Structure 1
Amino acid sequence: MSERIKATLVFRSMLQLGGIGIYTLPPDAVPGLRMRIFSIVLILMLLVSMSGCMGSNQSQTTTTTMDRLASIPNGAVKITPETDAFPPVLHSNEWEAPVPLEGPINTAGAEDSPFVTPDGKNLYFFFTPDVNVPPQKQLVDGVTGIWWSRKVNGKWNEPVRVVLGSTESLDGAVFILNDTMWFASVRKGNYGEVDIYIAKFRDGRWTDVKNAGELLNRVYDVGELCISPDGRTMYYGCGGDICMMDYVNGSWVNPRKVPNINSELNEDQPFITPDGRELWFTGQSRLGYPGPAVFRSVWNGSGWSEPEEIISNFAGEPVLDAEGNIYFVHHFFTKDMKMIEADIYVAYKKKS
């Protein structure tokens, strides 16, 4: 399959959801953020942003306690495992059956693009109250964006919104390594349509927000990313494949496709486990299930193993904590393939 055809799959059937203005795709495509899907609406969004109608920039990162539930349209349907037409299917006996994440995280809106810290105590995710609202309206609704919850005494707290340096932006697709957050954003000053940004955690706040630079955002055109625990290798989405590059002498160099991972289908949204031994990603199901699926590849000492499909049926964006629990997004569809909403799910690692 040509690169152009693979990239085209990401544009079809626009319906914003997840990381940033994620568009829901038909069963034969992968719903990624992703970095090129705003071509049609971006100009409108930036014009709205530059008009100054969203309020002034904030000099530091803030968290806000807006009411997510109040923002969800009246009559919105909350899907449950019992009413799910395409429940997640697990293909491994290493984990318990996937279930919706407990606590106040999931709503009748769309929760997507999860990131969990290795200790399993901090959850970042993207939220938008209505999957039918276009991105230019998400930008100004006051609730669409990154949200954060902390687990205290085994229970998730009520999520709060994280504003990263500006209210005039649409942010998502969080990845955190040590004290650095990487995220994707539509905002003024971007090199491209959706740029990668960096924030630092200082004094209990995410601050020092800055663009990751022209090399990553224009030259390499990096998509959703993760970085190895040692900080030396970046894995990222690149036009329907998963690519990698090395951090050498203060710069990212040698971009290339990851061997043995990519196929003629779409692969995206990579994640490296905290021990650096497993590469997880989203890809079109290779077992005949509808929509995207969650895959795993294991480092064998010299390279990555053949990917194994772990969870099927509209499952994607996997992230694992240090105990091996899998957090992922599950999109709910009707039997006639109409998108309804999305939730964060978890498959707990079985105790040995």
Structure 2
Amino acid sequence: MRIFSIVVILMLLVSMSGCMGSNQSQTTTTTMDRLASIPNGAVKITPETDAFPPVLHSNEWEAPVPLEGPINTAGAEDSPFVTPDGKNLYFFFTPDVNVPPQKQLVDGVTGVWWSRKVNGKWSEPVRVVLGSTESLDGAVFILNDTMWFASVRKGNYGEVDIYIAKFRDGRWTDVKNAGELLNRVYDVGELCISPDGRTMYYGCGGDICMMDYVNGSWVNPREVPNINSELNEDQPFITPDGRELWFTGQSRLGYPGPAVFRSVWNGSGWSEPEEIISNFAGEPVLDAEGNIYFVHHFFTKDMKMIEADIYVAYKKKS
């Protein structure tokens, strides 16, 4: 059973994603469509009104804050991916987490959105249409000119399949299903690929697995040693230098909801994971400077989810 953020939020409604240039353009809807789609009276949570603010357990980063600029709204921003240069942000957006996925499929705004950092500021996000307007797309990962993403659409091998798109002539195109091997045989969940393109890390039934790219095919699927526990682990990310494995897991320190973990390559394997950010934090992705971008879900004290924002913890300057 694969665990995708878009499925968790849209279908289950419980809390438990390389290098591109900065000159990208996309197929888009207008920004006003996104804002206008948010229900009247939707509650925008702020750090001051957050019942479970993110808790940082490391002095390597500044305290987590909502990502600045026009990214976060009273809707749900989720599943971030940031290119290593820190100039392109992809995220999943849906205007109302309480709307059934059948309605989100045709609302014209739910899906993948993109913002570019220009002169130090994030631009107004625009929607990325990935081959089909009748789909629920999210969980983006990009390596070089290839985007991997999760999608609910007709023709899938399962409920949620992995798809691939190519960046050509300033847009994402050549969208295709990643194939039966990954989607039916291996049942790959949210994934990332090492910077050298040789190893895929992915969610596999509440654990994190890996496999190798050999002679044009993905082979040798197995659990990642020293990472998994009796709790859930998912949504892995390898840093641009290939030296750190980050992932989402249930808190091992007693905090509610998911937490962000880090493991470091020691030359022969991954170190014991360290819980870095707790309290409904997940789907970490880091740029080349070591800044941590993640999704933070806002919950009431009686554990009802309200919305979600993209947060960032900036790496302290040495």
Q: In which range does the TM-score fall when normalised by the shorter chain?
A: over 0.9
Does the 8 Å CA contact 2:78/2:93 hold for their aligned counterparts? Answer: yes
Out of 239, 242, 247, the residue aligned to residue 208 of structure 2 is: 242
Q: Does the aligned pair in 2 maintain the 1:66–1:161 contact within 8 Å? A: no
Cα deviation code 1:59-98 (max 9, x no counterpart):
9965655521100000000000000000000000000000
In structure 2, distance between residues paired with 1:52 and 1:105: 22
Unaligned residue ranges in structure 2 (runs of 5+): none
The 1:53–1:75 alpha-carbon spacing in structure 2 relative to 1, beyond 3 Å, is: farther
Q: Cα gap change, 1:305/1:73 in structure 2, threshold over 3 Å: closer, same or farther?
A: same
Alpha-carbon contact 1:294-1:318 (below 8 Å) kept: yes
TM-score by length of 1: 0.83
- 1:108 to 1:51, Cα distance in 2 relative to 1, 3 A: closer
Percent identity between the two aligned chains? 99
Query: In structure 1, what is the Cα distance between the partners aligned to 2:26 and 2:290?
Result: 34
1:97/1:44 CA distance change after superposition, 3 Å:
closer
Change (3 A) 1:46 1:162: farther
Q: Call closer, same or farther: CA 1:121–1:234 in 2, change over 3 Å.
A: same
Deviations 1:184-237 (A, max 9, x none): 001111111110000000011000000100000000000000000000000000
CA deviation string 1:218-268 (max 9, x = no partner): 000000000000000000000000000000000000000000000000000
Aligned mates of 1:53, 1:89 — CA distance in 2: 30
CA distance in 2, matches of 1:52, 1:330: 24
Q: Counterparts of 1:348 and 1:51 in 2: how far apart (Å)?
A: 19
Question: What is the alpha-carbon root mean square deviation over aligned residues?
Answer: 6.2
Distance across 2 between alignment mates of 1:183 and 1:304: 26
Change (3 A) 1:42 1:230: closer
Contact 2:17 2:236 in 1 (8 A): no
Q: Distance in 1 between matches of 2:22 and 2:317?
A: 50
Moved over 3 A (4+): 35-66
CA distance in 2, matches of 1:216, 1:79: 38
CA deviation vs aligned residue, 1:295-338 (integer Å, no higher than 9, x gap): 00000000000000000000000000000000000000111111
Gaps of 5+ in 1: 1-34
Distance 2:93 2:317 in 1: 32
Equivalent-residue separation in structure 1 for 2:299 and 2:9 (angstroms)? 30
More deviation in 245-254 or 332-341? Answer: 332-341
Distance in 2 between the 1:60 and 1:350 partners? 33
Q: 8 Å contact 1:59–1:165 — kept in the other structure?
A: no
Change in 2 beyond 3 A, CA 1:41/1:334 = closer
Once the two structures are superposed, residues 19-58 of structure 1 have per-residue CA deviations (whole angstroms, 9 ceiling, x without a partner) of xxxxxxxxxxxxxxxx657999999999999999999999
Secondary structure at the counterpart of residue 136 of structure 1: helix
Alpha-carbon separation, structure 2, partners of 1:336 and 1:135: 24
Instruction: Kindly indicate whether the alpha-carbon contact (under 8 Å) linking 2:19 and 2:143 is maintained by their aligned counterparts in 1.
Output: no
- 1:254-297 Cα deviation digits (max 9, x unpaired): 00000000000000000000000000000000000000000000
Please give the TM-score of this superposition, normalised by the length of structure 2.
0.92
Give the superposition deviation at 1:168: 1.3
8 Å contact kept, 2:115–2:125: yes
Residues 244 and 256, structure 1, Cα contact 8 Å, conserved in 2: yes
For the 8 Å contact 1:118–1:274, the answer to whether it is kept is yes
**How many aligned residue pairs are there?**
318
3-state SS of paired residue (2:132): coil
Show the 5 A alignment for 1:1-352: 36=2, 65=31, 67-352=33-318
* Distance change (3 Å), C-alpha of 1:50 and 1:189: farther
